[in-house]
Structure 1
Protein backbone atom coordinates (compact mmCIF):
# COMPACT_ATOMS: atom_id res chain seq x y z
CA UNK A 1 0.00 0.00 0.00
CA UNK A 2 1.34 3.41 -1.01
CA UNK A 3 0.42 4.91 2.35
CA UNK A 4 2.90 2.51 3.94
CA UNK A 5 5.75 4.54 2.47
CA UNK A 6 4.98 7.13 5.16
CA UNK A 7 4.00 4.72 7.91
CA UNK A 8 6.26 6.26 10.57
CA UNK A 9 5.02 9.79 9.92
CA UNK A 10 1.39 8.67 9.79
CA UNK A 11 1.80 6.69 13.00
CA UNK A 12 3.26 9.74 14.72
CA UNK A 13 0.44 11.93 13.40
CA UNK A 14 -2.17 9.52 14.76
CA UNK A 15 -0.34 9.29 18.09
CA UNK A 16 -0.13 13.07 18.46
CA UNK A 17 -3.60 13.74 17.00
CA UNK A 18 -2.18 16.15 14.40
CA UNK A 19 -3.27 14.50 11.15
CA UNK A 20 -1.50 13.74 7.88
CA UNK A 21 -2.58 15.56 4.72
CA UNK A 22 -3.51 13.93 1.44
CA UNK A 23 -0.89 16.07 -0.31
CA UNK A 24 1.83 14.67 1.97
CA UNK A 25 1.44 11.11 0.69
CA UNK A 26 3.60 9.44 -1.92
CA UNK A 27 2.22 10.11 -5.44
CA UNK A 28 1.65 6.37 -5.83
CA UNK A 29 -1.35 6.74 -3.50
CA UNK A 30 -3.01 9.26 -5.81
CA UNK A 31 -2.61 6.92 -8.78
CA UNK A 32 -3.70 3.84 -6.85
CA UNK A 33 -6.79 5.52 -5.43
CA UNK A 34 -7.87 6.63 -8.88
CA UNK A 35 -7.34 3.15 -10.32
CA UNK A 36 -9.41 1.62 -7.53
CA UNK A 37 -12.44 3.89 -7.95
CA UNK A 38 -12.24 4.58 -11.71
CA UNK A 39 -13.50 1.15 -12.69
CA UNK A 40 -16.67 1.71 -10.70
CA UNK A 41 -17.21 5.06 -12.38
CA UNK A 42 -16.70 3.56 -15.84
CA UNK A 43 -19.14 0.76 -15.10
CA UNK A 44 -21.85 2.78 -13.35
CA UNK A 45 -21.68 6.57 -13.51
CA UNK A 46 -23.29 7.18 -16.90
CA UNK A 47 -25.16 3.91 -17.26
CA UNK A 48 -26.93 3.83 -13.89
CA UNK A 49 -25.99 6.54 -11.37
CA UNK A 50 -26.84 9.60 -13.44
CA UNK A 51 -30.10 8.06 -14.77
CA UNK A 52 -31.09 7.30 -11.15
CA UNK A 53 -31.14 11.04 -10.39
CA UNK A 54 -34.36 12.95 -10.98
CA UNK A 55 -34.13 14.70 -14.35
CA UNK A 56 -30.35 15.06 -14.33
CA UNK A 57 -29.57 12.94 -17.38
CA UNK A 58 -31.81 15.10 -19.56
CA UNK A 59 -30.26 18.30 -18.22
CA UNK A 60 -26.74 17.06 -18.91
CA UNK A 61 -27.69 15.93 -22.40
CA UNK A 62 -29.21 19.35 -23.17
CA UNK A 63 -26.27 21.27 -21.68
CA UNK A 64 -25.73 21.86 -17.99
CA UNK A 65 -23.27 23.62 -15.72
CA UNK A 66 -21.44 21.02 -13.64
CA UNK A 67 -18.84 21.04 -10.88
CA UNK A 68 -16.86 17.95 -9.87
CA UNK A 69 -15.44 18.79 -6.45
CA UNK A 70 -12.43 16.91 -5.13
CA UNK A 71 -11.81 15.64 -8.64
CA UNK A 72 -8.26 14.37 -8.15
CA UNK A 73 -6.78 13.25 -11.47
CA UNK A 74 -10.14 13.82 -13.14
CA UNK A 75 -11.37 10.30 -13.87
CA UNK A 76 -15.00 11.15 -13.11
CA UNK A 77 -14.75 14.62 -14.67
CA UNK A 78 -13.40 13.33 -17.95
CA UNK A 79 -16.07 10.65 -18.10
CA UNK A 80 -18.83 13.22 -17.63
CA UNK A 81 -17.35 15.45 -20.33
CA UNK A 82 -17.02 12.58 -22.78
CA UNK A 83 -20.59 11.43 -22.16
CA UNK A 84 -22.32 14.83 -22.18
CA UNK A 85 -20.69 17.01 -24.85
CA UNK A 86 -23.25 19.80 -24.49
CA UNK A 87 -22.43 20.39 -20.82
CA UNK A 88 -19.73 22.65 -19.38
CA UNK A 89 -17.85 20.84 -16.64
CA UNK A 90 -15.26 22.11 -14.16
CA UNK A 91 -13.20 19.93 -11.88
CA UNK A 92 -11.96 21.42 -8.60
CA UNK A 93 -9.31 20.06 -6.24
CA UNK A 94 -7.12 21.65 -3.60
CA UNK A 95 -4.14 19.50 -4.68
CA UNK A 96 -2.32 21.42 -7.42
CA UNK A 97 -0.31 18.47 -8.73
CA UNK A 98 -3.48 16.47 -9.30
CA UNK A 99 -5.05 19.42 -11.11
CA UNK A 100 -1.99 19.73 -13.37
CA UNK A 101 -2.26 16.06 -14.33
CA UNK A 102 -6.01 16.33 -14.90
CA UNK A 103 -5.46 19.27 -17.26
CA UNK A 104 -2.94 17.24 -19.21
CA UNK A 105 -5.36 14.35 -19.53
CA UNK A 106 -8.14 16.66 -20.70
CA UNK A 107 -5.90 18.09 -23.41
CA UNK A 108 -4.81 14.62 -24.52
CA UNK A 109 -8.45 13.54 -24.74
CA UNK A 110 -9.39 16.59 -26.82
CA UNK A 111 -11.81 17.81 -24.16
CA UNK A 112 -10.15 21.05 -23.04
CA UNK A 113 -12.66 23.23 -24.91
CA UNK A 114 -15.57 22.18 -22.70
CA UNK A 115 -13.76 20.87 -19.64
CA UNK A 116 -11.54 22.77 -17.23
CA UNK A 117 -9.76 22.11 -13.96
CA UNK A 118 -9.05 24.63 -11.22
CA UNK A 119 -7.24 24.57 -7.88
CA UNK A 120 -9.88 25.24 -5.22
CA UNK A 121 -11.07 23.75 -1.95
CA UNK A 122 -14.50 22.21 -1.49
CA UNK A 123 -15.63 24.92 0.92
CA UNK A 124 -14.89 27.85 -1.39
CA UNK A 125 -14.74 26.73 -5.03
CA UNK A 126 -15.98 29.50 -7.35
CA UNK A 127 -19.18 29.70 -9.33
CA UNK A 128 -22.92 29.69 -8.76
CA UNK A 129 -26.05 28.45 -10.52
CA UNK A 130 -24.70 24.94 -11.02
CA UNK A 131 -27.16 22.37 -12.31
CA UNK A 132 -25.12 19.56 -10.80
CA UNK A 133 -22.36 19.42 -8.22
CA UNK A 134 -20.75 16.03 -7.66
CA UNK A 135 -18.34 14.74 -5.04
CA UNK A 136 -16.91 11.30 -5.66
CA UNK A 137 -15.42 9.40 -2.72
CA UNK A 138 -14.03 12.56 -1.14
CA UNK A 139 -16.49 14.23 1.27
CA UNK A 140 -15.56 11.94 4.17
CA UNK A 141 -11.87 12.93 3.85
CA UNK A 142 -12.54 16.61 4.41
CA UNK A 143 -11.80 18.34 7.72
CA UNK A 144 -15.12 20.20 7.40
CA UNK A 145 -17.56 18.14 5.32
CA UNK A 146 -20.50 20.14 6.67
CA UNK A 147 -18.94 23.40 5.52
CA UNK A 148 -18.28 21.87 2.10
CA UNK A 149 -21.88 20.63 1.82
CA UNK A 150 -23.20 24.06 2.83
CA UNK A 151 -21.09 25.73 0.14
CA UNK A 152 -22.30 23.21 -2.42
CA UNK A 153 -25.90 23.94 -1.39
CA UNK A 154 -25.32 27.67 -1.93
CA UNK A 155 -23.68 27.11 -5.32
CA UNK A 156 -26.60 25.19 -6.82
CA UNK A 157 -29.55 26.47 -8.80
CA UNK A 158 -32.85 26.21 -6.90
CA UNK A 159 -33.60 23.05 -8.89
CA UNK A 160 -30.01 21.80 -8.89
CA UNK A 161 -28.71 18.46 -7.64
CA UNK A 162 -25.89 17.39 -5.38
CA UNK A 163 -24.60 13.95 -6.36
CA UNK A 164 -22.71 12.45 -3.42
CA UNK A 165 -20.85 9.21 -4.06
CA UNK A 166 -19.32 7.69 -0.94
CA UNK A 167 -17.70 4.37 -0.05
CA UNK A 168 -20.39 1.81 0.74
CA UNK A 169 -21.09 1.44 4.45
CA UNK A 170 -23.88 0.44 6.75
CA UNK A 171 -24.63 2.42 9.87
CA UNK A 172 -22.98 0.21 12.51
CA UNK A 173 -19.48 -1.15 12.94
CA UNK A 174 -20.65 -4.74 13.24
CA UNK A 175 -22.51 -4.51 9.92
CA UNK A 176 -19.33 -3.32 8.20
CA UNK A 177 -17.15 -6.22 9.32
CA UNK A 178 -16.97 -7.78 5.88
CA UNK A 179 -14.17 -7.85 3.26
CA UNK A 180 -15.11 -4.49 1.73
CA UNK A 181 -15.74 -2.81 5.07
CA UNK A 182 -12.46 -4.04 6.54
CA UNK A 183 -10.58 -2.65 3.56
CA UNK A 184 -12.31 0.71 3.88
CA UNK A 185 -11.70 0.90 7.64
CA UNK A 186 -8.00 0.28 7.07
CA UNK A 187 -7.67 2.91 4.36
CA UNK A 188 -9.81 5.33 6.34
CA UNK A 189 -7.54 5.19 9.38
CA UNK A 190 -4.31 6.03 7.56
CA UNK A 191 -5.64 8.20 4.73
CA UNK A 192 -9.16 9.58 5.18
CA UNK A 193 -9.34 10.30 8.89
CA UNK A 194 -5.67 11.28 8.93
CA UNK A 195 -6.37 14.01 6.37
CA UNK A 196 -9.57 15.14 8.07
CA UNK A 197 -7.58 15.78 11.25
CA UNK A 198 -5.27 18.32 9.58
CA UNK A 199 -7.61 21.33 9.97
CA UNK A 200 -10.48 22.47 12.15
CA UNK A 201 -13.13 21.33 12.86
CA UNK A 202 -11.41 17.98 12.23
CA UNK A 203 -14.68 16.11 11.77
CA UNK A 204 -13.05 12.75 10.98
CA UNK A 205 -16.19 11.47 9.29
CA UNK A 206 -14.32 8.51 7.84
CA UNK A 207 -15.03 6.24 4.88
CA UNK A 208 -17.55 4.19 6.86
CA UNK A 209 -19.88 6.99 7.92
CA UNK A 210 -22.99 5.22 6.64
CA UNK A 211 -26.17 6.51 5.03
CA UNK A 212 -27.85 7.77 8.22
CA UNK A 213 -24.89 9.95 9.23
CA UNK A 214 -24.45 11.28 5.70
CA UNK A 215 -28.16 12.09 5.44
CA UNK A 216 -28.06 13.98 8.75
CA UNK A 217 -25.08 16.00 7.55
CA UNK A 218 -26.81 16.92 4.29
CA UNK A 219 -29.96 18.02 6.11
CA UNK A 220 -27.78 20.12 8.45
CA UNK A 221 -26.23 21.71 5.36
CA UNK A 222 -29.64 22.88 4.18
CA UNK A 223 -30.73 20.18 1.77
CA UNK A 224 -34.40 19.33 2.17
CA UNK A 225 -34.65 16.22 0.00
CA UNK A 226 -32.08 13.47 0.46
CA UNK A 227 -32.36 9.91 -0.77
CA UNK A 228 -30.26 6.91 -1.72
CA UNK A 229 -30.45 6.87 -5.51
CA UNK A 230 -28.34 3.77 -6.15
CA UNK A 231 -25.68 1.54 -4.67
CA UNK A 232 -22.99 -0.96 -5.55
CA UNK A 233 -20.86 -3.23 -3.42
CA UNK A 234 -18.34 -0.40 -3.16
CA UNK A 235 -20.38 2.81 -3.22
CA UNK A 236 -23.44 4.61 -1.87
CA UNK A 237 -24.96 7.06 -4.35
CA UNK A 238 -26.95 9.80 -2.64
CA UNK A 239 -29.06 12.51 -4.29
CA UNK A 240 -29.57 15.75 -2.38
CA UNK A 241 -31.80 18.65 -3.44
CA UNK A 242 -32.17 22.18 -2.02
Structure 2
Protein backbone atom coordinates (compact mmCIF):
# COMPACT_ATOMS: atom_id res chain seq x y z
CA UNK A 1 0.00 0.00 0.00
CA UNK A 2 1.40 3.39 -0.99
CA UNK A 3 1.91 6.30 1.36
CA UNK A 4 -0.53 8.33 -0.76
CA UNK A 5 -3.29 5.75 -0.42
CA UNK A 6 -2.76 5.57 3.33
CA UNK A 7 -3.03 9.37 3.61
CA UNK A 8 -6.25 9.39 1.59
CA UNK A 9 -7.70 6.69 3.78
CA UNK A 10 -6.85 8.72 6.87
CA UNK A 11 -8.39 11.95 5.52
CA UNK A 12 -11.65 10.57 4.11
CA UNK A 13 -13.22 9.47 7.42
CA UNK A 14 -12.68 12.93 8.93
CA UNK A 15 -14.43 14.57 5.98
CA UNK A 16 -17.28 12.07 6.18
CA UNK A 17 -17.58 12.59 9.93
CA UNK A 18 -17.85 16.34 9.39
CA UNK A 19 -20.62 15.93 6.80
CA UNK A 20 -22.59 13.58 9.02
CA UNK A 21 -22.26 16.08 11.85
CA UNK A 22 -23.63 18.84 9.62
CA UNK A 23 -26.52 16.59 8.58
CA UNK A 24 -27.37 15.82 12.20
CA UNK A 25 -26.89 19.36 13.49
CA UNK A 26 -29.25 20.74 10.84
CA UNK A 27 -31.88 18.33 12.12
CA UNK A 28 -31.24 19.43 15.69
CA UNK A 29 -31.76 23.05 14.65
CA UNK A 30 -35.19 22.17 13.23
CA UNK A 31 -36.11 20.36 16.44
CA UNK A 32 -35.01 23.40 18.46
CA UNK A 33 -37.24 25.62 16.34
CA UNK A 34 -40.15 23.30 17.06
CA UNK A 35 -39.28 23.44 20.74
CA UNK A 36 -39.52 27.22 20.64
CA UNK A 37 -42.76 27.36 18.65
CA UNK A 38 -44.51 24.80 20.86
CA UNK A 39 -43.19 26.26 24.11
CA UNK A 40 -41.65 22.92 25.04
CA UNK A 41 -38.33 24.38 26.17
CA UNK A 42 -40.05 26.88 28.45
CA UNK A 43 -42.33 24.14 29.75
CA UNK A 44 -39.39 21.86 30.56
CA UNK A 45 -37.68 24.71 32.39
CA UNK A 46 -40.59 24.89 34.85
CA UNK A 47 -40.79 21.15 35.56
CA UNK A 48 -38.83 18.74 37.71
CA UNK A 49 -37.75 15.58 35.85
CA UNK A 50 -40.96 14.51 34.11
CA UNK A 51 -42.31 11.76 31.88
CA UNK A 52 -43.33 12.49 28.32
CA UNK A 53 -46.98 12.38 29.41
CA UNK A 54 -46.33 14.94 32.14
CA UNK A 55 -44.45 17.22 29.75
CA UNK A 56 -47.19 16.93 27.14
CA UNK A 57 -49.93 17.65 29.70
CA UNK A 58 -48.06 20.71 31.01
CA UNK A 59 -47.54 22.04 27.48
CA UNK A 60 -51.03 21.14 26.24
CA UNK A 61 -49.60 19.04 23.40
CA UNK A 62 -49.96 15.55 21.94
CA UNK A 63 -47.87 13.07 23.94
CA UNK A 64 -46.67 10.99 21.01
CA UNK A 65 -45.16 14.00 19.24
CA UNK A 66 -43.69 15.27 22.49
CA UNK A 67 -42.07 11.92 23.20
CA UNK A 68 -40.42 11.81 19.79
CA UNK A 69 -39.19 15.40 20.16
CA UNK A 70 -37.81 14.62 23.60
CA UNK A 71 -35.95 11.69 22.10
CA UNK A 72 -34.29 13.98 19.58
CA UNK A 73 -33.35 16.51 22.25
CA UNK A 74 -31.99 13.80 24.54
CA UNK A 75 -29.87 12.42 21.69
CA UNK A 76 -28.59 15.95 21.05
CA UNK A 77 -27.56 16.29 24.69
CA UNK A 78 -29.93 19.20 25.38
CA UNK A 79 -32.25 17.12 27.58
CA UNK A 80 -31.21 14.64 30.27
CA UNK A 81 -33.00 11.28 30.16
CA UNK A 82 -33.26 8.87 33.09
CA UNK A 83 -33.94 5.42 31.64
CA UNK A 84 -35.04 3.98 35.00
CA UNK A 85 -37.78 6.53 35.66
CA UNK A 86 -38.23 7.42 31.97
CA UNK A 87 -38.14 11.08 32.86
CA UNK A 88 -36.71 14.06 31.02
CA UNK A 89 -35.14 17.28 32.27
CA UNK A 90 -33.74 20.27 30.43
CA UNK A 91 -29.96 20.43 30.86
CA UNK A 92 -29.19 23.40 33.15
CA UNK A 93 -26.23 24.53 31.04
CA UNK A 94 -28.41 24.71 27.92
CA UNK A 95 -31.48 26.29 29.54
CA UNK A 96 -30.34 29.96 29.34
CA UNK A 97 -29.89 29.65 25.58
CA UNK A 98 -33.10 27.78 24.81
CA UNK A 99 -35.68 29.52 26.99
CA UNK A 100 -37.08 32.94 27.77
CA UNK A 101 -37.77 36.11 25.79
CA UNK A 102 -34.22 37.50 25.71
CA UNK A 103 -31.80 37.67 22.79
CA UNK A 104 -29.86 34.76 24.33
CA UNK A 105 -32.59 32.32 23.25
CA UNK A 106 -31.05 30.71 20.15
CA UNK A 107 -33.99 28.33 19.69
CA UNK A 108 -35.87 31.31 18.27
CA UNK A 109 -33.12 31.90 15.71
CA UNK A 110 -32.94 28.24 14.73
CA UNK A 111 -36.42 28.48 13.22
CA UNK A 112 -34.72 30.19 10.29
CA UNK A 113 -33.33 26.81 9.26
CA UNK A 114 -36.89 25.61 8.69
CA UNK A 115 -37.69 28.82 6.82
CA UNK A 116 -34.76 28.30 4.48
CA UNK A 117 -35.92 24.76 3.84
CA UNK A 118 -39.38 26.03 2.87
CA UNK A 119 -38.09 28.45 0.23
CA UNK A 120 -35.19 26.30 -1.02
CA UNK A 121 -37.09 24.87 -4.04
CA UNK A 122 -37.99 28.39 -5.16
CA UNK A 123 -34.43 29.58 -4.67
CA UNK A 124 -33.07 26.68 -6.71
CA UNK A 125 -35.17 27.81 -9.65
CA UNK A 126 -33.74 31.33 -9.41
CA UNK A 127 -30.24 29.86 -9.57
CA UNK A 128 -31.27 28.78 -13.08
CA UNK A 129 -33.28 31.76 -14.27
CA UNK A 130 -31.93 34.65 -12.19
CA UNK A 131 -34.09 37.19 -10.41
CA UNK A 132 -35.29 36.46 -6.91
CA UNK A 133 -38.12 35.88 -4.48
CA UNK A 134 -40.91 38.28 -3.65
CA UNK A 135 -41.68 39.15 -0.04
CA UNK A 136 -44.90 37.16 -0.42
CA UNK A 137 -42.82 34.06 -1.15
CA UNK A 138 -41.03 34.39 2.20
CA UNK A 139 -43.79 33.18 4.54
CA UNK A 140 -43.16 33.83 8.19
CA UNK A 141 -39.80 35.55 7.72
CA UNK A 142 -40.98 38.98 8.83
CA UNK A 143 -42.70 37.59 11.91
CA UNK A 144 -39.56 35.70 12.91
CA UNK A 145 -37.34 38.69 12.18
CA UNK A 146 -39.62 40.94 14.23
CA UNK A 147 -39.37 38.57 17.19
CA UNK A 148 -35.57 38.48 16.87
CA UNK A 149 -35.34 42.26 16.79
CA UNK A 150 -37.84 42.70 19.61
CA UNK A 151 -35.75 40.49 21.89
CA UNK A 152 -32.70 42.70 21.32
CA UNK A 153 -34.64 45.96 21.51
CA UNK A 154 -36.55 45.06 24.67
CA UNK A 155 -33.26 44.38 26.41
CA UNK A 156 -30.95 46.99 24.93
CA UNK A 157 -32.57 49.68 22.76
CA UNK A 158 -33.18 52.33 25.41
CA UNK A 159 -30.25 51.70 27.75
CA UNK A 160 -27.50 50.60 25.35
CA UNK A 161 -28.27 51.28 21.69
CA UNK A 162 -29.75 54.77 21.62
CA UNK A 163 -27.02 56.20 23.92
CA UNK A 164 -24.53 55.39 21.12
CA UNK A 165 -26.02 58.33 19.22
CA UNK A 166 -25.36 60.82 22.00
CA UNK A 167 -28.91 62.12 21.59
CA UNK A 168 -30.64 60.94 24.76
CA UNK A 169 -30.89 64.46 26.15
CA UNK A 170 -32.30 65.86 22.90
CA UNK A 171 -34.78 62.97 22.65
CA UNK A 172 -36.00 63.85 26.13
CA UNK A 173 -36.44 67.48 25.05
CA UNK A 174 -38.15 66.61 21.77
CA UNK A 175 -36.83 65.91 18.25
CA UNK A 176 -38.07 64.36 14.99
CA UNK A 177 -37.11 60.72 14.41
CA UNK A 178 -37.66 58.32 11.49
CA UNK A 179 -37.09 54.58 11.25
CA UNK A 180 -36.39 53.20 7.77
CA UNK A 181 -37.67 49.68 7.07
CA UNK A 182 -39.44 49.69 10.42
CA UNK A 183 -41.10 46.27 9.96
CA UNK A 184 -43.63 45.72 12.72
CA UNK A 185 -42.54 48.96 14.37
CA UNK A 186 -41.70 47.69 17.84
CA UNK A 187 -38.52 49.80 18.03
CA UNK A 188 -40.44 52.95 17.09
CA UNK A 189 -43.04 52.26 19.75
CA UNK A 190 -40.46 51.57 22.44
CA UNK A 191 -38.78 54.89 21.65
CA UNK A 192 -42.06 56.77 21.48
CA UNK A 193 -43.05 55.45 24.90
CA UNK A 194 -39.66 56.33 26.41
CA UNK A 195 -39.41 59.79 24.85
CA UNK A 196 -42.94 61.28 24.76
CA UNK A 197 -41.76 64.76 23.75
CA UNK A 198 -40.21 63.46 20.52
CA UNK A 199 -42.15 62.34 17.47
CA UNK A 200 -41.44 59.12 15.59
CA UNK A 201 -42.34 57.96 12.08
CA UNK A 202 -41.80 54.44 10.80
CA UNK A 203 -41.54 53.73 7.07
CA UNK A 204 -41.90 50.30 5.51
CA UNK A 205 -42.84 48.78 2.16
CA UNK A 206 -45.17 46.21 3.74
CA UNK A 207 -48.62 47.41 4.66
CA UNK A 208 -49.16 44.24 6.69
CA UNK A 209 -46.22 44.87 9.00
CA UNK A 210 -46.95 48.59 9.29
CA UNK A 211 -50.45 47.68 10.47
CA UNK A 212 -48.92 45.67 13.33
CA UNK A 213 -46.93 48.71 14.40
CA UNK A 214 -50.02 50.92 14.32
CA UNK A 215 -51.95 48.41 16.41
CA UNK A 216 -49.23 48.25 19.05
CA UNK A 217 -49.00 52.06 19.16
CA UNK A 218 -52.77 52.24 19.67
CA UNK A 219 -52.64 49.57 22.37
CA UNK A 220 -49.92 51.50 24.20
CA UNK A 221 -51.75 54.81 23.80
CA UNK A 222 -48.95 56.46 21.86
CA UNK A 223 -49.83 59.71 20.16
CA UNK A 224 -46.28 60.42 18.97
CA UNK A 225 -45.77 57.33 16.78
CA UNK A 226 -46.86 57.29 13.13
CA UNK A 227 -46.43 54.59 10.49
CA UNK A 228 -46.27 55.12 6.74
CA UNK A 229 -46.40 52.44 4.04
CA UNK A 230 -43.93 53.47 1.34
CA UNK A 231 -40.85 52.48 -0.67
CA UNK A 232 -37.89 54.13 1.03
CA UNK A 233 -35.98 54.01 -2.26
CA UNK A 234 -38.05 57.11 -3.04
CA UNK A 235 -37.25 60.35 -1.20
CA UNK A 236 -39.33 60.64 1.96
CA UNK A 237 -38.61 64.18 3.18
CA UNK A 238 -35.90 66.80 2.93
CA UNK A 239 -34.16 68.07 6.08
CA UNK A 240 -37.07 66.87 8.20
CA UNK A 241 -35.44 64.66 10.85
CA UNK A 242 -32.82 65.00 13.57
CA UNK A 243 -32.32 61.24 13.87
CA UNK A 244 -32.94 58.39 11.42
CA UNK A 245 -32.58 54.74 12.39
CA UNK A 246 -32.42 51.53 10.36
CA UNK A 247 -32.31 48.15 12.08
CA UNK A 248 -31.03 45.36 9.79
CA UNK A 249 -32.97 46.95 6.95
CA UNK A 250 -30.43 48.38 4.50
CA UNK A 251 -28.71 45.31 3.06
CA UNK A 252 -31.87 43.77 1.58
CA UNK A 253 -33.11 46.97 -0.07
CA UNK A 254 -33.39 46.88 -3.85
CA UNK A 255 -31.05 49.87 -4.16
CA UNK A 256 -29.22 50.40 -0.84
CA UNK A 257 -27.07 53.28 -2.08
CA UNK A 258 -30.21 55.19 -3.09
CA UNK A 259 -31.79 54.56 0.30
CA UNK A 260 -28.67 55.80 2.10
CA UNK A 261 -28.63 58.94 -0.04
CA UNK A 262 -32.31 59.50 0.78
CA UNK A 263 -31.55 59.12 4.49
CA UNK A 264 -28.83 61.76 4.21
CA UNK A 265 -31.25 64.10 2.44
CA UNK A 266 -33.94 63.50 5.06
CA UNK A 267 -31.64 64.58 7.89
CA UNK A 268 -31.25 68.15 9.04
CA UNK A 269 -27.79 69.69 9.19
CA UNK A 270 -25.93 68.00 12.02
CA UNK A 271 -28.37 65.09 11.95
CA UNK A 272 -27.53 61.53 12.97
CA UNK A 273 -28.13 58.20 11.27
CA UNK A 274 -28.01 55.07 13.42
CA UNK A 275 -27.62 52.07 11.12
CA UNK A 276 -27.62 48.61 12.63
CA UNK A 277 -26.59 45.87 10.23
CA UNK A 278 -24.82 42.53 10.02
CA UNK A 279 -21.38 42.34 11.60
CA UNK A 280 -19.17 40.56 9.10
CA UNK A 281 -16.38 41.45 6.72
CA UNK A 282 -16.68 42.47 3.09
CA UNK A 283 -13.74 40.12 2.48
CA UNK A 284 -14.72 36.45 2.34
CA UNK A 285 -11.49 35.14 3.82
CA UNK A 286 -11.96 37.26 6.94
CA UNK A 287 -15.28 35.53 7.68
CA UNK A 288 -13.92 31.99 7.87
CA UNK A 289 -13.49 32.21 11.65
CA UNK A 290 -16.97 33.64 12.17
CA UNK A 291 -18.97 30.78 13.76
CA UNK A 292 -22.18 31.65 11.89
CA UNK A 293 -20.67 32.80 8.58
CA UNK A 294 -22.24 30.02 6.50
CA UNK A 295 -25.63 30.83 8.00
CA UNK A 296 -25.26 34.45 6.88
CA UNK A 297 -24.57 33.41 3.29
CA UNK A 298 -27.45 30.92 3.42
CA UNK A 299 -30.00 33.44 4.71
CA UNK A 300 -28.75 35.89 2.08
CA UNK A 301 -29.50 33.39 -0.70
CA UNK A 302 -32.83 32.44 0.89
CA UNK A 303 -34.07 35.96 1.59
CA UNK A 304 -31.98 39.13 1.79
CA UNK A 305 -30.11 39.00 -1.53
CA UNK A 306 -32.96 37.19 -3.23
CA UNK A 307 -35.74 39.68 -2.42
CA UNK A 308 -33.50 42.52 -3.58
CA UNK A 309 -32.89 40.77 -6.91
CA UNK A 310 -36.60 39.97 -7.08
CA UNK A 311 -37.30 43.71 -7.20
CA UNK A 312 -34.76 44.22 -9.97
CA UNK A 313 -32.33 45.44 -7.36
CA UNK A 314 -28.61 45.27 -6.71
CA UNK A 315 -28.63 42.08 -4.64
CA UNK A 316 -26.17 43.49 -2.11
CA UNK A 317 -26.61 40.51 0.19
CA UNK A 318 -26.50 39.91 3.93
CA UNK A 319 -22.71 39.73 4.05
CA UNK A 320 -21.98 43.11 2.45
CA UNK A 321 -19.63 43.69 5.36
CA UNK A 322 -18.64 46.56 7.59
CA UNK A 323 -15.96 47.81 5.20
CA UNK A 324 -18.39 48.29 2.31
CA UNK A 325 -21.06 49.63 4.65
CA UNK A 326 -18.74 52.35 5.92
CA UNK A 327 -17.68 53.25 2.37
CA UNK A 328 -21.29 53.47 1.17
CA UNK A 329 -22.24 55.71 4.10
CA UNK A 330 -19.45 58.10 3.20
CA UNK A 331 -20.41 57.96 -0.48
CA UNK A 332 -23.94 58.93 0.57
CA UNK A 333 -22.54 62.15 1.99
CA UNK A 334 -22.07 61.46 5.69
CA UNK A 335 -19.16 63.42 7.11
CA UNK A 336 -18.26 60.99 9.90
CA UNK A 337 -18.96 57.31 10.51
CA UNK A 338 -18.25 55.62 13.85
CA UNK A 339 -18.52 51.86 14.31
CA UNK A 340 -19.66 50.35 17.62
CA UNK A 341 -20.20 46.81 18.91
CA UNK A 342 -22.43 45.51 21.69
CA UNK A 343 -21.55 42.38 23.61
CA UNK A 344 -25.20 41.36 23.90
CA UNK A 345 -25.66 41.50 20.11
CA UNK A 346 -22.72 39.72 18.44
CA UNK A 347 -24.56 39.48 15.10
CA UNK A 348 -24.76 43.21 14.42
CA UNK A 349 -22.51 46.22 13.95
CA UNK A 350 -23.72 49.66 15.03
CA UNK A 351 -22.87 52.57 12.76
CA UNK A 352 -23.38 56.15 13.92
CA UNK A 353 -23.11 58.46 10.90
CA UNK A 354 -23.44 62.23 11.01
CA UNK A 355 -24.13 64.77 8.28
Matches of 2:116 and 2:351, distance apart in 1: 28
Secondary structure in 2 aligned to 1:61? helix
Q: How far apart are 1:3 and its partner, in Å? A: 4.2
**2:219 pairs with 1:108:** yes
Q: How far apart are 1:184 and its partner, in Å? A: 1.9
Aligned counterpart in structure 2 of residue 120 of structure 1, from 230, 234, 245: 230
**2:262 pairs with 1:141:** no
Q: Verify the 8 A CA contact 1:162 1:239 in the aligned structure 2.
A: yes
Match of 2:117 in 1: 4
Q: Is there any run of 5+ residues in structure 1 with no aligned partner, and where?
A: none
Q: Number of matched residues?
A: 238
Aligned counterpart in structure 1 of residue 348 of structure 2, from 230, 235, 242: 235
Aligned counterpart in structure 2 of residue 42 of structure 1, from 154, 168, 176: 154
- Provide the aligned C-alpha RMSD in A: 1.6
Q: Verify the 8 A CA contact 2:134 2:311 in the aligned structure 1.
A: no
Matches of 1:125 and 1:209, distance apart in 2: 23
Aligned counterpart in structure 2 of residue 51 of structure 1, from 152, 163, 177: 163
Q: How far apart are 1:194 and its partner, in Å? A: 0.2
Q: How far apart are 1:11 and its partner, in Å? A: 2.1
List per-residue Cα deviations over 1:116-140 (Å, max 9, x = no partner).
1110112225333201111100100
Matches of 2:124 and 2:195, distance apart in 1: 43
Question: Which one scores higher on RCO, CA 8 angstroms, separation ≥ 6?
Answer: 1
Matches of 1:147 and 1:47, distance apart in 2: 31
Write the mapping of 1:33-112 to structure 2, written as runs, cut at 5 A: 33-53=145-165, 55-111=166-222
| Structure with the greater alpha carbon radius of gyration | 2
Write the mapping of 1:16-35 to structure 2, written as runs, cut at 5 A: 16-26=129-139, 28-35=140-147
Match of 1:195 in 2: 307
Q: Verify the 8 A CA contact 1:51 1:57 in the aligned structure 2.
A: yes
**2:261 pairs with 1:150:** yes
Q: More helix per residue: 1 or 2?
A: 2
Aligned counterpart in structure 1 of residue 332 of structure 2, from 204, 221, 225: 221
Matches of 1:3 and 1:104, distance apart in 2: 29
Aligned counterpart in structure 1 of residue 271 of structure 2, from 147, 160, 179: 160
Matches of 2:120 and 2:208, distance apart in 1: 22
| Runs of 4+ with deviation above 3 angstroms | 229-232
Matches of 1:160 and 1:78, distance apart in 2: 21
TM-score (norm 2): 0.64
Q: How far apart are 1:143 and its partner, in Å? A: 1.3
Secondary structure in 2 aligned to 1:52? helix
Q: Is there any run of 5+ residues in structure 2 with no aligned partner, and where?
A: 1-113
